[in-house]
Chain A
Amino acid sequence: MTGSATTLSAGRAQLPVRRSASRGPVQRWLARNRAPLVAALVFAALFGFVDWITPGALTYFDVAFQASGGTPLALAAMGQTLVVISGGFDLSAGAVISLVNAVLAANMDPAQMQASPLLWTLVGIGTGMAVGAFNGIFVAFLRLQPIVVTLSTMFIVQGLTLLILPQPGGFISPSLGSFYMGDAISGLVPASLVLLGLVALFWLWLKNTGFGVALYAVGSDPATATSTGVRTTLVRFGSYVIAGGFYGLAGTFVSAQTGSGDPLVGNSLLLQMFAAVVIGGTRLGGGKGGLVGTVFGAFVLMSVVNILLALNVSAYFSTIAEGAVLLAAVLVGSLSKDSVLSEQLAGLRGSLKARRAGTHVSQRPKTDRKLAFVDAHGRGRPAGDNVVAPGFFTRNGQTLRYALPAWIGLVLVLIATQVVLGSSLGSWSFWNSLLVLSTFLTILALGQGSVILTGGLDLSVPWTIGLSGILLAGIVQGSDAALLYAVPAVLGLAALIGLFNGLGVVALGLSPIVVTLAANGILQGAALLYSGGTPAGFASPLLRWMMTGHIGGVTPVLLFLAIVIVAGTLLLGRTAFGRRVYAVGNSLDAARLSGIQTGSVIVGVYVVSAICAALVGILLTGFSGQASLGMGDDYLLPSIAVVVVGGALITGGRGHFLGMVGGALLLTALQTLLAGTTLPYAFRAIFFGCVVLAAVLALRDKRN
């Protein structure tokens, strides 16, 4: 399947190349660098707009400050771009920035005001590269999925950071600050721009080395790259190490910029980094893009702050405006004759024309023109066919191989719980709590899992949960009768959210990460506007009873959990929709050529995901008794983690829902075990990361 998809996409990609060959070298260069150029233009336009709307002329100081403000995000996003081009994904980037900041702040000698900037920059870059090498070993040599490796690394690094610097403080020598925040040419060129320029030059050099070429090759098609003699493993490893160096440099720059340490300073840069990568024209999934566009992407994102201020956009609207800017910037960048949007429009025009001419498929006579197949079930085996029907393990070997590790991990964690905390496995209340707590992640796994099976990702989960919970509490106001219309209303709204996400991906051809990230911001704004900042209202008694009551020791929601597990297994395993989800994830083109309406399937999975998130919002409201802002914030990364730990392939097409259920139970059991101990948080984070990493070691991909 994968083979045919490759030839197809290769065949497609050849067309524009041939076309541009007939143009001059300038046009060819423009065509090849469209995305970064558009990002640069968008940034220039935003910058000009801010300058025009802000009273008073922009001084050199303003420009210099603007430049240094965007530099940390730009540097970190450049590293991320490198990993993305190679076909990877790095969730540990933000945590590494915090780590480097903490290492520098905790180790610089307060008595030494003239510490060498070069030396400490090397320390920063070295620290980042060390973490990158850790990621690289697991991703490249042990062939684990980048998303789960780097997620584990993120937890481990966050724990280490807190051990090095438990709270904001420490000392950063002023010499580092004046080196990076000062002027390269006084009053003309700030040091930050020189730094970005040097890094960009490094990239332009790297891109043309053998490693650079191999990077794109590995990202486009690892199998082909390997067979043409590229050392895929080393290239992947290298991309994580170099990316780590970029995060290290970003962390050093943040240290210089802030003049002290904060163990949380980089963590929130993570999602913005991906936005910068995509605005800069790099394709998530690998093989296309570059680091220069990313720099402009980062500056576009940072100048949104200035625009919101200049227009005095109300606080509640700021995330909405931000989401809109993100969507617009990416959409503008993707507009061209070959873009999905224009293809869709052309398709629409074509079908309208055909309808008018009366030649549309739906207008043709509806005679069944299928070939007559012999009913396979009715056909007897020819005599002499001695092949034994394959057994259960043969038929499901592949599924079991990927779904079982999570369950085995669960058993080990449960045994550890019994040993460490005692008296748990024998008591029903332990199982009851474990299952109730895992309900949220199990339901999210169905939604996020369906999306991931098609090769997408849903980042709008947190505020779909938040908005749904707040709406539900606001409508029911503690009345059971109101549930009758409140629940359908909330689920209906969720379906619309899913439709928005799905259409953004299918009709506009935007990356799922961009669409759902923007949707998340818009939903946050909607929740704030609806609640006025203070959510009111209660879950009704029935809903509360469902989450916290007991029938003979069993919390009623467990019945619902059972229904979700059965329904999810059937939906993904036994329905036509489920089969199509896997087909789309394995190869979009092959699925389309097999007659699947891939667009509707993709829209469908986002609707499923949004509805699942809304259900979690409703159940969480019942669990807590009321809804609160930000109640979904802690569920985004775990929702992805359980799916991948459960054996799904992040690029789609592989994974079984029951494996994901195992993943949800494993993570919940692990958290329960850790909550029962009095270990400091830092150690718990490290332990959590290590266990997740160990659990997925069994999920190693086979060598090609």
Chain B
Amino acid sequence: MTRATTKWAGALALALSTALVPPAFAKEKYKVYLSMSYIGNDWQAEAANMVKAMAASKTMADKVTLKVQVAGPNAQRQIQQINAMVQAGANAIVVYPISPTALNQVVKNACAKGVTIIAYDGEITEPCAYNVTIDQTEAGTKTAEWLVDKLGGKGRVVMVTGVPGTSVDTARTAAAKAVFAKHSGIQVVGELVGMWSQAVARTELSKLLATRGWDDIDGLWMQVGCYTADAMQLEAGRTAKQLKPCAGEGSNGGRIQMLPAGTKVDGANGSYAPMDAPRISYASPPYSGAYALKLAVSILDGKKDVPHHTTLPLPLVTNDTIKLCETGSWDEMKNGCNVFKPSVIKNPGWFASIFSEKTPEVGLNAALNGQPED
């Protein structure tokens, strides 16, 4: 309870202090805004933390003032918000776009006024905008191919998709289905809507399992939910050795499960523990926002050759490449560690793909607390 009170008090103080800082304070710096869509999920909060950390890092702190605003799940409001940011004199706007198409007109207007618009994770199709994303088709293809390989080209597969009607979900799912269709031995026996949430994945899988046992499933392809699927198999009385291969997201919980059984990790607990789970783990990396901010500043600095579409390397981790981080510093991650201790990451649904060659300013502390490396 005390923890809660201090947090409240701290947050209040923070709000007051930001309200009291005179706006004339930062004339020389670039005015950069972050327009988030919805902060009601883990990925968004983590990505926002990393953007804040990037803005606070040594190289950036005296160059930019960053203001963060949330539009909610409503594209109309994000349109209004981006326009208000342009009105308020933004030099650049970093956007998590609610829709790839609905923002096109307002973005075009912003560009015409000389404002740099850069989107992360999702895409804005207006040509003047910059985009930082992974290749969703590659994500769907690579993970499905891994699963087919693991099953020896034969078996019954359950797919758990994302939010229907979004281009990310459509691209990933279509790519995976194309791979499965090429192998006549692969039979898709269930397609569930997982909404990119561990909690939804569990309820949907439970519904499927009401009419189909684990014995009737050979493998899982999930956009989010492998951690949960593994936990459910253990609850159903199966052993860690019997876990079905699962191609899915880069949650820390799922990656801890990939570690060889018996690995000692601090804070392991229940199904949030090493068990040699057969997995491939991919993710839309949460550092994309931070990298987008960095690119935006380099564009403002006059860099000319920034491509309008930056495709980030797809972070893929398998049982062969999984490695536990001790501190989670950027340097340590550079040497190949890619999963964090449960004692530090209390939430197994937290996304662990936070490393990029190009963002040495942000490490574990950035994703957790918005603190830069330096």
Contacts and interface: CB of A to CB of B under 8 A. Distances in A.
Interface of A: 54-56, 58, 62, 65-66, 69-70, 72-73, 161-162, 166-169, 177, 181, 254, 257-265, 268-269, 272, 302, 305-306, 308-319, 417, 421, 423-424, 429-430, 433-434, 436-437, 466, 471, 474-475, 478, 489, 524, 528-530, 532-538, 541, 544, 548-549, 620, 623-626, 628-631, 633-634, 671-673, 675-676, 678-682
Nearest to A420: B211
A305 B80 contact: yes
A35 to B, nearest CB: 24
Contact of A631 (B85, B163, B199, B235): B199
B368 to A, nearest CB: 7
Contacts, number: 264
B89 A533 contact: no
B69 A315 contact: yes
B76 A167 contact: no
Contacts of A548: 232, 235
A265 B99 contact: yes
Contacts of B269: 478, 538
Nearest to B205: A675
Interface string B5-33: 00110010011001100010000000000
A309 B88 contact: yes
B99 A436 contact: no
Interface stretch (B41-49, B144-152, B242-250): B41-49
A177 B87 CA distance: 22
Interface in B34-60: 36, 39-42, 44-46, 48-49
Given A625-B231, A630-B197, A65 B210 contact: no
Contacts of A679: 191
A544 B270 contact: yes
Contacts of B170: 166-167
B70 A260 contact: no
A8 to B, nearest CB: 41
Contacts of B161: 681
B207 A437 contact: yes
Nearest to B102: A258
5 contacts: A168-B166, A424-B210, A533-B49, A536-B346, A679-B191
Given A258-B99, A262-B102, A628-B199, 14 more contacts: A72-B76, A167-B167, A167-B171, A258-B79, A302-B77, A310-B84, A312-B67, A319-B70, A430-B211, A548-B235, A626-B348, A626-B349, A629-B39, A676-B212
Interface string B74-114: 11110111011101110000000001111111000100000
B211 A421 contact: yes
B128 interface: no
Which 8 residue pairs across A and B have the least CB separation, nearest first? A533-B45, A536-B346, A433-B210, A675-B207, A260-B101, A167-B170, A630-B40, A258-B102
Given A623-B202, A672-B210, A257 B105 contact: yes
Contacts of B169: 167
A537 B346 contact: yes
Given A259-B104, A309-B85, A676-B211, A437 B99 contact: no
Contacts of A318: 69-70, 72
Given A268-B72, A625-B270, A56 B89 contact: yes
B207 A269 contact: no
B19 A430 contact: no
B83 A269 contact: no
B189 interface: yes
Contact of A675 (B36, B77, B102, B190): B190
A436 B40 contact: no
B79 A69 contact: yes
Nearest to A466: B40
B225 to A, nearest CB: 11
A624 B202 CA distance: 7
B98 to A, nearest CB: 8
B100 A262 contact: yes
A605 to B, nearest CB: 27
Contacts of A177: 105
Contact of B42 (A306, A423, A628): A628
Contacts of B359: none
A433 B210 CA distance: 5
Interface of B: 1, 3-4, 7-8, 11, 14-15, 18-19, 23, 36, 39-42, 44-46, 48-49, 67-77, 79-81, 83-85, 87-89, 99-105, 109, 125, 161, 163-167, 169-171, 188-193, 195, 197-200, 202-204, 206-213, 228, 231-232, 235, 269-272, 346-350, 368-369
A315 B70 contact: yes
A474 B212 CA distance: 34
Contacts of A628: 41-42, 197-199, 347, 349
Contact of B199 (A56, A314, A620, A676): A620
Nearest to A302: B80
Given A311-B19, A629-B42, A433 B207 contact: yes
A535 B68 CA distance: 20
Listed residue (A169, A317, A620, A678) with the most chain B CB atoms within 10 angstroms of its CB: A678
A537 B44 CA distance: 19
B192 A675 contact: yes
A530 B7 contact: yes
A72 B210 CA distance: 43
A534 B81 CA distance: 25
A534 B190 contact: no
Contact of A269 (B44, B76, B85, B271): B76
A528 B75 contact: no
Nearest to A623: B202
Contact of A272 (B41, B74, B102, B350): B74
Contacts of B188: 678
Given A181-B105, A430-B210, A678 B190 contact: yes
A319 B38 CA distance: 10
Contact of A310 (B88, B100, B190, B198): B88
B218 to A, nearest CB: 15
Given A264-B165, A529-B11, A306 B235 contact: no
Nearest to B83: A65
Contact of A259 (B105, B163, B193, B207): B105
User: Which residue, B80, B89, B189, has most C-beta atoms of chain A within 10 A?
Assistant: B80
Contacts of A169: 101, 167
A281 to B, nearest CB: 22
A484 to B, nearest CB: 15
A255 B121 CA distance: 24
B8 A259 contact: no
A306 B350 CA distance: 32
Contacts of B206: 433, 436-437
Given A168-B100, A308-B69, A678-B189, A624 B199 contact: yes
A56 B31 CA distance: 15
A54 B88 contact: yes
A54 B163 CA distance: 37
Contact of A528 (B4, B39, B200, B270): B39
Given A305-B77, A536-B347, A624-B202, A264 B99 contact: yes
Nearest to B213: A429
A196 to B, nearest CB: 15
Contacts of B271: 625
A264 B104 contact: no
Nearest to A261: B101
Given A672-B211, A675-B208, A55 B125 contact: no
Contacts of A259: 101, 104-105
